[in-house]
Amino acid sequence: MAIVAALAPAAAAAHTPTTATANLPVGTNVAPIEGYVWGWQPANPNYIAATGYEYNSAGGAVQILRPAVGTYQVRFLGMAGTGGIAHVSAYGDSNICTVSSWGPSLGHEVVNVRCFTPAGAAVDGRFVAHVTNRADGTSRGYLWSSDPTPPAAGYTPPATWSYDSTGQAIVVSSSGAGHYEVELGAFAQDSAGQWASGVLRVTAYGNTAVACQIFDPTLFGDPDVLRVRCYDTAGLATNTKFALSYTRDVVPVSATFDNHNMVPALVGWSSPSGVAPTAAVLGVGDYLVSFPGAGVAGGHAFAGLVATPPFYCNIQYWTVSLGALNVRVRCYQPGGGAPNPAMLINVGFLT
């Protein structure tokens, strides 16, 4: 793969998500895009990701620029798309990474990433990132919550970056600092328990070290509502914008485990092999999830926490062994220490 020349920083259009994907006028044709990458050279100012752990649905290369410490620009060359959702997380350590923008620029799809130490200082670090505007599947929904302080009565997030496969209106409200409630029809139709075989993802949006997570839906009397909680590096609830998505019957490999008393129990799963995954505890806040018969080269792994906050989880690595896909997940408390709460861990894998 040839190295392309350095590109200029993203145009101003990419400073916020740009152009519409869902809730567009009937008959509007939106070309689907999808891309993911493993950013594995944290100090390199300009390189092409060519490890096999990247994908560009337009067939182009994936370029990563580093204009400043902890600041990255992922360019999916030739893949400029309409709307969609982007997620990012740190890889291999306790860092916190956020999305600071995404959108088309100069014919490319750009995802801007910021990474921080657990104390909140900008840091060069590895990360995984994903962007898509796909609207297939029976249960798919996503949104960019553009208002960090929505009213208690709720607001409808920008249609430009929202999609719900049920066609229902998406509503985001707040019940206090860093406390958000999201009404997403695609999730609500699966709230009886089917959601555990799908994937829930939430990423803080902005230029500061904030980690967001989703509460366990089974702990509340109204399981149709997704409860998002966001925290700063001291573990204090903080207001922020965020990106959230839910999919089921879309991501081919996923699993949800309930870590109770350090003994993970499988709650829901999906795997092309048809064989149930397993999880092992390697240490406090350290888990290895194995999907027998689902091992493939490359791909994109990610994990999230569905639990009593404030904690966050990152991918440590993923490998293939004896035909199985093995995903190691590390979870952290504010400041980077390992937690040991009873919590649900949600793992997904794209190919």
Domain ranges, ordered by start, for the chain: 12-19+30-132, 139-248, 253-350
If DSSP codes are grouped into helix, strand and coil, which group holds residue 41? coil
Amino acid at 159: A
- The topology under which CATH files domain 253-350 is Elongation Factor Tu (Ef-tu); domain 3 (2.40.30)
Q: Report the alpha-carbon distance of residue 294 to residue 277 in Å, rounded.
A: 9
- Residue 325's CB is within 10 A of a number of other CB atoms, namely 26
Angle at CA 101, nearest 5°, toward 100 and 105? 140
Residue reference for tokens 């979870």: 331
Alpha-carbon distance values, 205 to 7, 141, 258, 338 (Å): 24, 18, 27, 24
Q: Report the alpha-carbon distance of residue 255 to residue 264 in Å, rounded.
A: 11
Residue reference for tokens 């909680």: 229
Per residue, the 3-state secondary structure of 196-241, as one string, reads HHCEEEEEEECCCCCEEEECCHHHCCCCCEEEEEEECCCCCECCCE
Q: Are 92 and 67 in contact (CB under 8 A)?
A: no
Six token digits for residue 315: 């991918």
Query: Per DSSP, what are the bridge partners of residue 50?
Result: none
**For the chain, how many residues are written?**
351
**pTM given for the model:** 0.91
> How many Cα atoms sit within 13 Å of 345 on the Cβ side?
36
Residue 162: predicted pLDDT: 95
Q: Please list the ranges in the chain whose pLDDT falls under 70.
A: 1-30, 221-222, 261, 340-342
Phi, psi of 12 (to 5 degrees): -60, -25
Residue 17: predicted pLDDT: 52
DSSP string, 7-21: -PPPPGGGGS--S--
Q: Which residues have a Cβ under 8 Å from the Cβ of 222 and sit 6 or more positions away? A: none
Residue 263: predicted pLDDT: 83
Six token digits for residue 147: 């208002």
